[in-house]
C-alpha cells in the first residue's frame, strides 16, 4: 500500500482486497485527490463517489519530465477529498495518451465535470493546464500530450 495513506484509506483498500481472490490482491495502490484546490478536489471526489466522474487526465509533462509514475490498468486509487478522507476506491480500466487538442466529447463527458460538454472541458482544462505550466516556468501548448485515465468505482467507504 502507498505510504501516504491514512488509516481510513488503508481500511477501505484492505476491505476491497479481501473480497478478491488471493491472486488478484497484488495491486499498485495510491491515495490522492483530484484538482489543485479544496473546492474542486471535494467536488470531484463527490462526482467519483456518485459514479458520474469516470475519468481524469493530467499533463504528460509530470510523468515524462518530472518522473511521476504513470498509472497502469488494474491499479487502485483511493480518491480522497482535500482533507485526505476517502470518498471512493477506483480501479484503472485504461491509461492512454492523447494530445489536448484531440480530446473528444466522449472523454469530456466521462470526466463528468461542469456541464459535461467538450467546450466546457476545453476551457476549464486549458485554464488549469496554463496555470500549472506557468508555475513550472513554461507555457501550455494546445498540442500538449495528456495522460487519460478511465476508471470504475470498486468500493465506497462504509
Quick one: three-class SS letters along the chain?
CCCCCCHHHHHHHHHHHHCCCHHHCCCCEEEECCCCCHHHHHHHHHHHHHCCCCEEEEECHHHHCCCCCCCCCCCEEEEECCCCCEEEEEEEEEEEEEEHHHCCHHHHHHHCCCCCCHHHHHHHHHHHHHHHHHHCCCCCCCCCEEEEEEEEEEECCC
CATH number, domain 7-155, options 3.40.630.30, 3.80.10.10, 3.10.400.10, 3.40.50.620: 3.10.400.10
35-80: per-residue pLDDT in tens? 999 999 999 999 999 999 999 999 999 999 999 999 999 999 999 9
13-43: per-residue pLDDT in tens? 999 999 999 999 999 999 999 999 999 999 9
Q: Does residue 2 have a pLDDT over 70?
A: no
Residue spans of the domains in the chain: they are 7-155
The pTM score is: 0.93
Amino acid at each position: 500500500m502507498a505510504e501516504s495513506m491514512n488509516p481510513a484509506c488503508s481500511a477501505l483498500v484492505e476491505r476491497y482486497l479481501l473480497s478478491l481472490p488471493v491472486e488478484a490482491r497484488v495491486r499498485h495502490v495510491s491515495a490522492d485527490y483530484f484538482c489543485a484546490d479544496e473546492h474542486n478536489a471535494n467536488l470531484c471526489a463527490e462526482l467519483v463517489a456518485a459514479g458520474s466522474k469516470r475519468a481524469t487526465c493530467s499533463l504528460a509533462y509530470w510523468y515524462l519530465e518530472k518522473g511521476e509514475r504513470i498509472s497502469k490498468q488494474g491499479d487502485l486509487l483511493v480518491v480522497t477529498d482535500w482533507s485526505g478522507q476517502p470518498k471512493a476506491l477506483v480501479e484503472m480500466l485504461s491509461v492512454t495518451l492523447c494530445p489536448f487538442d484531440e480530446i473528444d466529447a466522449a472523454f469530456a463527458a466521462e470526466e463528468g465535470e461542469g456541464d459535461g460538454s467538450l467546450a466546457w472541458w476545453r476551457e476549464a482544462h486549458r485554464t488549469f493546464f496554463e496555470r500549472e505550466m506557468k508555475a513550472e516556468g513554461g507555457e501550455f501548448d494546445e498540442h500538449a500530450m495528456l495522460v487519460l485515465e478511465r476508471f470504475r468505482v470498486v468500493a465506497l467507504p462504509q
